[in-house]
Amino acid sequence: MANEETSKRTLRAGLLSMRKRLTAEDAQEAGVALASLARGVPELVGASTVAAYVSVGREPSTRALLDTLHSLGVRVLLPVLLPDNDLDWAPYEGPASLAPVGREGRLTLLEPTGKRLGPDAVLAAEAVLLPGLAVDGRGMRLGRGGGSYDRALARLAAAGAEPALLVLLYDHEVIDHVPAQAHDRPVHAALTPSGVRHFG
């Protein structure tokens, strides 16, 4: 278990270093491609509720994707980071419904300003879009290490909810192997600018 955690830290550091070399334009271009791609993903356009997130830093931008889903009539839930790193959720009602939230030692986040629905609101989602740094052919996802999405995924599993789990990445972040621990849950698909890859 300790070896897997060490391997994760090493891999995470390398991937974050690669992301730092990307530009804001790279993130924006990836986001436009993902939004276009999403129109052909049944798990997304066929869903009544999708849990998503607002990208930060050099993550593939999700802004166009959020607007695409919203314009298609999909109810989009966005996370609100709680002090204990768990996630609350609130509806996305368009760009004007987002506000910056700065936290000491963290990236500035954009969070929804609407009514907080509670951590269990994610249980209503038929699809969950997840941030990540990498995924492998088993669908094992490497996140940033904060554990927020691990909690959300554990909540879904405990409730017997089975939404489609999709991670948003750059093409080069689909890799051969992601170290996995007992609490890690595989995703069903990866969306990258060049297409959708399903696992399992």
Does 10 show up as a binding residue in the annotation?
yes
Does 21 show up as a binding residue in the annotation?
no
Q: Which residues pair with 25 in a beta bridge?
A: none
Does 144 show up as a binding residue in the annotation?
yes
Does 54 show up as a binding residue in the annotation?
yes
Does 145 show up as a binding residue in the annotation?
yes
Tell me if 153 sits within 8 A of 185, measured CB to CB: yes
Positive or negative torsion for Cα 173, 143, 80, 100: negative
For residue 27 the two structure tokens come to: 């993130």
Q: Which residues contact 87 (CB under 8 A, 6 or more apart)?
A: 79, 80, 81, 119, 122, 148, 149, 151, 152
Does 148 show up as a binding residue in the annotation?
yes
Q: How many CB atoms lie within 10 A of CB 144?
A: 16
Does 9 show up as a binding residue in the annotation?
yes
Does 146 show up as a binding residue in the annotation?
yes
Does 141 show up as a binding residue in the annotation?
yes
- DSSP annotation of 176 reads S
What is the C-alpha to C-alpha distance for residues 186 and 139, in angstroms, rounded to an integer? Answer: 5
What is the C-alpha to C-alpha distance for residues 4 and 12, in angstroms, rounded to an integer? Answer: 12
Tell me if 80 sits within 8 A of 111, measured CB to CB: yes
Does 12 show up as a binding residue in the annotation?
yes
Q: Detail the residues annotated as belonging to a binding site for ATP.
A: 8-12, 141-149
Q: Detail the residues annotated as belonging to a binding site.
A: 8-12, 54, 59, 141-149
Q: Detail the residues annotated as belonging to a binding site for substrate.
A: 54, 59
